[in-house]
Amino acid sequence: MLRRQTAPKDLCRPAWIAGSAECMIIAGAADRSLPFAAAPLADAVWPRKLILVTGGTGFVGQRLVEALSAAGHGVIVLSRNAVSDNLPDSVRVITSLLEIAPATRIDAVVNLAGESIAGGLWTRKKRARILQSRRDMAAQCRDLVARLECKPEVLITASAIGWYGIRGDETLDESSTGTACFSREICEAIEQGAAACAELGVRVVPLRIGLVLDSSGGMLGRMLLPFRLGLGGPFGSGKHWMSWIHRDDLVRLICHAIAQPSLSGPVNAVAPNPVRNRDFVKALGKALHRPAVFPVPAAPLKLVLGQFAEELLLGGQRVVPVRAEASGFRFRYPTLDAALAAIIEHEKGDAP
């Protein structure tokens, strides 16, 4: 059961105090012992805070908002729609950051918004929309921070491992350099935009996110049906690397980054054990008890999808989470087999 509490609006008061106009206190939280319960994902964040999430109705954002809300934190979600059936009732939904009053005490901002890079061919117009959506949101976040009377403690922004460019077998950490490609251009726009908030005294953590795994969306969500039909297989030669992370570990890492005042700068949001594409599809076939022997040739992928296929389907990076682990973060799903087993088991539990 959820209840809204109200109290006087003291300037720059701690956002977790029961009674904040934006902070909802959760009564009767879900069973925290369940493997996929949401609340424990936000255990690192304490005491209670008020957190702004842009892109909070997306694949990652929805799970993050669910976790924060279930753990008793106040959450404001920026969304194109004023009403969303996919968010907890305790969440305040806004359609513009201008709706946030300057006196509002926001403890953290998590920026997950931006035009999908996987929503079709990378035409000239599509590329422009992808870049502009990220530049616009970065500017809006900067403007919000500038006018807030009390600055947020931290901005977490979603970048990606595409920052490193298309690479071979070299192992990449946060100190590695990048090579030119459109994925890197996107990530540079994100990270440069976030740097403007650092100039205002806010701790900034760009998360360079790998392939996010869950059955409800992302690349894995699209792969499940053909693999269940026994039609799955490697893309091209299958030799390229896939650096991945279970969605719940990504939510936990976001919460860890919010809670760690010493953590700033880029952090690789990937599990510690990247795999080649051929090993990924083999593991997925094993988890589904299906063969994975039908390769998707590289030539038709390049012909139909162009650079999108070259960068996201046939190219990759071997990335490791050096800074996350050095800061004390421990992955719940460090290996692909463990991640896929948990996802498939949970999906079975959700089946009617």
Average pLDDT for 205-210: 98
pLDDT band of 32, cuts 50, 70, 90: very low
Q: Which helix (H) or strand (E) holds 336?
A: helix 336-350
Q: Which of 17-21, 100-104, 328-332 has the lowest mean pLDDT?
A: 17-21
**pTM of the full predicted structure?**
0.91
- CB count, 10 Å around CB of 296? 18
User: What would the pLDDT profile of 336-351 be if each residue is shown by its tens digit?
Assistant: 999 999 999 998 776 5
* Confidence at residue 350, expressed as pLDDT on a 0 to 100 scale: 64
The better pLDDT of the pair 326, 8 is held by 326
pLDDT band of 3, cuts 50, 70, 90: very low
In angstroms, the first-to-last Cα distance of the chain is: 25
Above pLDDT 90, what percent of the chain?
Answer: 85
CA distances from 335 to 176, 244, 246 (A): 23, 10, 10
* Confidence at residue 233, expressed as pLDDT on a 0 to 100 scale: 97
* Confidence at residue 84, expressed as pLDDT on a 0 to 100 scale: 76
User: What would the pLDDT profile of 88-143 be if each residue is shown by its tens digit?
Assistant: 999 999 999 999 999 999 999 999 999 999 877 899 999 999 999 999 999 999 99
* Confidence at residue 146, expressed as pLDDT on a 0 to 100 scale: 98
- Sorted by where each starts, the structural domains of the chain and their CATH numbers stand as 2-347 (3.40.50.720)
CA gap 68, 73 in Å, rounded: 5
Contacts of 271 (CB under 8 A, 6+ apart): 210, 243, 244, 245, 246, 249, 321, 331, 333, 334, 335, 336, 339
Per the CB < 8 A criterion, the answer to whether 192 and 163 are in contact is: no
CA gap 205, 73 in Å, rounded: 20
* Confidence at residue 287, expressed as pLDDT on a 0 to 100 scale: 97
User: What would the pLDDT profile of 48-101 be if each residue is shown by its tens digit?
Assistant: 999 999 999 999 999 999 999 999 999 999 998 877 778 999 999 999 999 999
Q: Which of 21-25, 228-232, 234-238 has the lowest mean pLDDT?
A: 21-25
* Confidence at residue 113, expressed as pLDDT on a 0 to 100 scale: 97
Question: Is 17 a residue whose pLDDT tops 50?
Answer: no
The mean of the pLDDT values for the chain is 90
